[in-house]
Amino acid sequence: KAGVTQTPRYLIKTRGQQVTLSCSPISGHRSVSWYQQTPGQGLQFLFEYFSETQRNKGNFPGRFSGRQFSNSRSEMNVSTLELGDSALYLCASSRTEPSTDTQYFGPGTRLTVL
């Protein structure tokens, strides 16, 4: 069974631009979560989607948004990029409830903002 895939793997953007990251969950998984990983803040939860609905959201500004499609694929968007948005963005999928089901992580998208 194929794992979680994320595209692109690497991105370089400049301040003020916007970016869209994509995540394809494991087949049959309906929950997709996004996390930001930085050396200073560690791993922080961004949001979680289930059946195209956002069920939970972390403490990030409104510049960070996401959506989920009917095939469970998810995208996250960051508008008006800031230098501090440079991070590894990880996507994770689970069958139903991340609180009880195991979450499987993708390899991440490394975003660099110049």
Helices and strands counted in the chain (H then E): 0, 11
- Least separation, in Å, of the C-beta of 62 and another protein? 19
85 binds another protein (CB under 8 A): no
- Least separation, in Å, of the C-beta of 7 and another protein? 13
Q: Quick one: 15 or 57, whose CB is closer to another protein? A: 57
Nearest CA to 99 out of 66, 62, 50, 36 is that of 50
98 binds another protein (CB under 8 A): yes
Q: Is 12 helix (H, G, I), strand (E, B) or coil?
A: strand
8 binds another protein (CB under 8 A): no
Measured distance CA(34)–CA(88) in Å, rounded: 11
104 binds another protein (CB under 8 A): yes
